[in-house]
Structure 1
Amino acid sequence: MFRPLLTASFIALSAPGFADTFTGEAVIDTVTIYPGLAEISRLITLDLPAGSHDIIVPGLPQTLATEGLRLSAPQSVQVGAISLSRDRLPVTPDQTTPAVQAAKDEVTRLEEALRQRDVTIEEIRLRVLAAEEQIAFLQSLSQASAGDTLSAGAVADIRALAQMVGEETLAVRQAAFTAEQEALAAMRAREDDVTALNDARQALAALIAPETEGSVLTFTVNTAAPGEVVIDVSTLESYANWSPVYDMRLTTGDTAALDIDRAVVVSQQTGQDWLNVNLILSTARPGEQIAPSDVWAPLRRIISEEELAREQQQVMLADQVMTRSFAGGVSEMAMEAPAPAIVAQADFSGATVTYRYPGRVDIRNGVDDLRLPLDQLSLEADIWAEAVPSRDDIAYRVAEFTNTTDEILLPGQALLFADGTMIGFSHLPLLAAGADQKMGFGPLDGLRLTRSTPRKSEGETGVFSSANQLTEQAQMTVENLTGRDWRVLLRDAVPYSEQDDLEVELNASPAVTQRNPDGQRGILEWDLNVGAGETAEIGFDYTLTWPTGYVLQ
């Protein structure tokens, strides 16, 4: 069986003949980021004579894949064989950039400065050591001389000797003290030298990847005429992403409005720094599903009641055998996998938006989360309060708005503000053009809620039951202490039935505005207008009735 010559590290388009070899640097010029994927355009600029040439481009990321590798050249230049090597890299000349070389030179300079500092400290320590030895010598000399002088009886000579030794010892001790202070100052300065050297090494590490990593691109070109040639190397690379972040500022005055400050956070771990690049952000999602899902038709069959009974009996016997085999444990028999779930996939074909960020940016590999401002949107908003007295004791501010732009609003984290006050964090889901969205904008402490139920003499709370009937009563209030009028959408719930024989009767005052909103069975809604300083009261009861001989569950 023949194996293809095209592998992850080699693409052969044609065999080169005798040619000169040139080494070029691929400089990242433009990056287009999709969610989870980046298209990177690198430019190689060479001054080539006419004829056929081998081009070597070192320093590319280790994870570069040939599937998304494309080369384009001017019309007068023909690109031939292309090879991408990873493990056994070809020998290439030093292609150190000026920035990297400057960082290396700074590291070398600081290493030498630290070495010289250590030499200076050792020299100072030697002076201290010499002073200590001088003091020891003077002390031994004075003891020997004093003994000779005492035996001779010359008191004046003893006094002169003591004075000389004292003066010399003081001078030596002063020199030792000065040297010790110089050593301490040098040690403090050495700490600054170490810090500067570590910073320089980190700066160098941020500019270069380990020399043992990376890949090398080699290809052949044939130029019709001598001159400068610019070759565009385009690659698709993973581990790059951008996501929107939103500051959503709600104004609840006479004219309600929602201002959305949009920004983006860009990060990448492609294995190479992006320095001084043009940045393009796209809402297209090439890494996601591109075709509709499959559907499966259900297989239905009929079976006689006798055969069904036999199958059920066989199942029971099998269960008994399994229980005996795994008594006291959990069965490890594999269960049949369910059919794949049919999930609806959103498709916004034709609605792709591209943002080209002005100016050039730097995004370092694996260390930068770059936040860039995008634009501001101004949308109209409908604002009200929502209250659930059965669960909460205050109401919450809610705003509904429509995406009136001509583009998709991608999902992202949102920081919420209401009338200039920060409320908290939320998440804006994917919002198509023209779609509506409802979001909570924090608590309204001035809208107080209560829910109570009457008590029977037996102590039961709000529930009255008989053999085939059950009744529950509830009383709710909304007290407005905010100083302004509020539209309040109040919600509660009652049981619901899917059986004709189990009836549910509801009485409410005021009347329920909407029952089962959006198909939510058993949910009740009251749409109220509660003025400043006013209190709204809602009372309701429901009764469940069922035939005698049945039990309510």
Structure 2
Amino acid sequence: MNSIIPLTQSSLRSLAPQGRPSGRSRSRALRAFEVSHLRRSAGILAFTASTLLAGTALAADFNPANSIGAVTVFPAGAEIERQASLDMPTGDHRIIFEKLPDGIRPNDVRVEGDSDGGLLIQAVDVARVPVTGDPAEANALRKERETLTDEKDVLEGRIRTAEMQRQMILMLVRPAATPKDAAVAQPQMPPDQLFSFIAERHAEIEETIHQARQDIRGIERRIAEIDRALSRTSGEQEWASRIIVSVSAEGAVNGKLRLRYRLADASWEPVYDARLDTSADKGKLQLTQRAMVRQYTGEDWSGVALTLATARPQGATAAPDAQVRYVGFARPQPRERAGGVFSDYSADAAAMAPAPEPEAVMEQQMKEQRVAVTDLGFDAVYHVPGLADIPATNDLRLVLVGDHDVESEMEARIVPAVREAAFLTVNFSHDGSAPLPPGAVRLFRDGVFVGEGHLPLSNPGQETELGFGIDERIEVKRQLVSKQRGEEGIFSKARTDTNDWRTLIVNHHGIPVDVVVLESLPQPLDEKINVVALSTNDPADESDVDGKSGVQAWRFKLNPQGERTLAFGYRIDWPQGQNVVLGMR
């Protein structure tokens, strides 16, 4: 390897030719050697410098142009995917993503990519950095505002001058009255020329005023923009996230990098339009599934591939621990009022229980019920067709998910003890690949909006019920035909209460209608209370409907203008000296 030889007199003498040449020849030899030696040293220095500079260029920071390409929105939160193109030489580099929304957590960041060479992702760092305005830019905006204010003053002065000129022209058109004995001044120009002059000058003045006012409006708009920009820079400190991806390239690399991160300020919920066509024997039901998406993440989603997921990344992932539960006698609670035998006939169902459960247990049950409403127990993903635009304004944006045409069975459902009306109910099951999550539904019957309801969770192949409001063409009348209270027994008296109803259903449709009538036989909570169905009752087609004790169902078909009367009643016996209450659970 070549080395640099120091140019000293001793070295020159040691390398000079031996012998005793003449002084002139020795001088020429020394000069030739110096030139050769300097050329060789310069080459070595140039090679060393180029090597050092090349080594420095291999380690660099890159701020690649990037954009949001895909977004996955969860019921609470969203995952954003940014895409960037890479073109970098060999070496260790840092890829920097600036001005990302505040609130990105390091554990919520994932980086992956594809390249034509060896590229190793070494580390990913997330930092929260303040967003500070440029003082030079703020000063430039203030100077621009001053200049615009001066220009506005000049334009307003131009308008005032033009208005004065307009007043003078009007004075020429309407000259002031002169006394009778005063001499009338003759115009200096013929009337035609005067009128032409007035018209020409008046048009010029109006154009000047119009143009000045237009310029003032433009200046005022620009001043408002400057004021907004200055207010942002002088307001509360804003923050942003910066993500630095450290990579090592074995060679020149071309490829794409995908940066994924999660943010909390986004959500979606399903909504539906249900359109029922009752003209066919089997109701044709069309379900239009949409999603209400909103986001306030600090960055707009423009032209993104939108995916909706039912998973909840921030929810619980492990089953809860089973707790030891106890049961014991409850202390008697005072009643607020006393009454007769059936004075609390419509009291709350809690009064029926002989021993209310402790408050802690009741509270826990309520919490479990609320969680059951929101936790679906499955993961489904909906890919929204096309590209979507969701601005970061927290406004609701409706996105079409898809349409479902399903065959359905219609029936008129009647609960006469609650309301004397028939409710059109549709039973259907969809054959889609993904479940339909629960959500609000707008109901249309034969093209007419009839109200809003709630669609329960519907898994593929699972039968689902959906109510479409009251059917006005089915008449329902319920009448209490007998009510008896008394005592029985000679030695041991017992109290009795007998109720007997008749329910009339009439079909005023021009087509047959399937009808379901639901009644409830009271269930005793104490062995001393006895409830017996009356022998005159019509036999029920189903008992304990949907697992509810005592709920009975009658199913039948009513022809056009057909009618049917159902008999239902019961008798309650209980010991004398006790009061009973009826309620619902």
Q: TM-score, normalised by structure 2?
A: 0.66
The 1:537/1:190 distance shift into structure 2, 3 A limit, reads farther
The aligned amino acid for 1:233 is L
Find the counterpart in structure 1 of residue 51 from structure 2.
Answer: none
User: CA 1:447/1:83 → structure 2, altered by over 3 Å: closer, same or farther?
Assistant: same
1:9-88 to structure 2, matched below 5 A, reads 19-73=59-113, 74=115, 76-88=118-130
1:313-392 to structure 2, matched below 5 A, reads: 343=368, 352-392=379-419
Report the Cα distance in structure 1 between the residues aligned to 2:313 and 2:303, rounded to whole angstroms. 25
**1:225 aligns with one of 246, 251, 262:** 251
Counterparts of 1:429 and 1:195 in 2: how far apart (Å)?
Answer: 54
Change in CA separation of 1:474 and 1:203 when aligned onto 2, cut-off 3 Å = farther
For residues 202 and 248 of structure 1, the distance between their equivalents in structure 2, rounded to whole angstroms, comes to 49
Q: Secondary structure at 2:510's aligned position in 1? A: coil
The aligned residue for residue 242 of structure 1 is 268
Three-state SS of the structure 1 residue aligned to 2:160 is helix
Give the drift of 1:478: 1.1
Report matched runs for 1:376-455 at 5 Å.
Answer: 376-454=403-481
Instruction: Give the distance between the partners of 1:91 and 1:190, measured in 2 at CA.
Output: 29
Per-residue deviation, 1:258: 2.4
Contact 1:66 1:84 in 2 (8 A): yes
Q: Do the aligned partners of 1:70 and 1:234 also contact (CA within 8 Å) in 2?
A: yes
SS in 2 for 1:445: coil
Q: Contact 2:385/2:401 (CA < 8 Å) preserved in 1?
A: no
C-alpha separation in 1, matches of 2:218 and 2:132:
38
Is this contact kept in 1: 2:404–2:430, CA < 8 A? no
SS of match in other structure, 1:518:
helix
- Which of 482, 506, 526 is the aligned partner of 2:554? 526
- Give SS of 2:392's match: coil
Q: Which ranges in structure 1 are unaligned for 5 or more consecutive residues?
A: 1-15, 95-108, 302-307, 313-334, 456-461
Secondary structure of 1:124's partner?
Answer: helix
Query: Match for 2:67: what amino acid?
Result: V
Could you tell me which residue of structure 1 aligns to residue 28 of structure 2? Answer: none
Separation of aligned partners in 1, 2:146 and 2:437: 50
Query: Is the Cα–Cα contact under 8 Å of residues 159 and 212 in structure 2 kept in the other structure?
Result: no
One-letter identity of the residue aligned with 2:162: R
Partner Cα distance (1:437, 1:403) in 2? 9
- 2:486 maps to what in 1? 465
TM-fit CA distance, 1:46: 4.1
Tell me how far apart the structure 1 counterparts of residues 265 and 219 of structure 2 sit (CA, whole Å): 35
Cα deviation for residue 445 of structure 1 reads: 0.4
Q: Which amino acid aligns with 2:504?
A: T
Residue 421 of structure 1: how far off its partner (Å)? 2.8
1:88-112 CA-to-partner distances (Å, cap 9, x unmatched) read: 46999x9xxxxxxxxxxxxxx9999
Give the direction of change, closer, same or farther, for the CA distance of 1:114–1:394 in structure 2 (3 Å limit).
farther
Q: Could you tell me how far 1:123 is from its partner in structure 2?
A: 1.4
Which digits, 9 at most, give the CA deviation of each residue in 1:469-493, with x for residues without a partner? 2222222211221222222212334
> Match of 1:546, SS?
strand
Give the conservation status (yes or no) of the 8 Å contact 1:25–1:58: no
Q: 1:225 to 1:210 in 2, by over 3 A?
A: farther
Is the CA contact 1:127–1:179 (under 8 Å) kept in the aligned structure 2?
no
**Residue identity opposite 1:124 in structure 2:** I
d(CA) in 2 for partners of 1:19 and 1:463? 98
Distance 1:77 1:419, change over 3 A: same
2:478 counterpart letter in structure 1:
R
Larger Cα-atom Rg: 2
2:183 alignment partner, SS class: helix
Aligned-pair RMSD on alpha carbons? Answer: 4.9
Match of 1:514 among 530, 542, 547: 542
Q: Which amino acid aligns with 2:183?
A: R
Q: Which amino acid aligns with 2:497?
A: L
Closer, same or farther in 2 for the Cα pair 1:537/1:336, shift >3 Å?
Answer: closer
C-alpha distance 211-122 of structure 1, shift in aligned 2 (>3 A) = farther
Opposite residue 61 of structure 1, the aligned amino acid is: P
The SS at the match of 2:313 is: coil
Provide TM-score, normalisation by structure 1: 0.70
Residue 128 (structure 1) aligns with: 163
Q: Determine helix, strand or coil for the equivalent of 2:314.
A: coil
Distance 2:528 2:326 in 1: 34
Q: Tell me the distance in 2 between the aligned counterparts of 1:191 and 1:90.
A: 32
Q: Return closer, same or farther for 1:179/1:353 CA change in 2, 3 Å cut-off.
A: same
What's the secondary structure of 1:484's corresponding residue? coil
Aligned to 2:524: 497
Q: How many angstroms apart in 1 are the aligned matches of 2:276 and 2:359?
A: 52
CA distance in 2, matches of 1:91, 1:110: 17
Match of 2:546, SS state, is helix
Q: CA deviation at 1:125?
A: 1.9
Q: Tell me, in whole angstroms, the C-alpha distance in 2 between the residues paired with 1:171 and 1:195.
A: 36
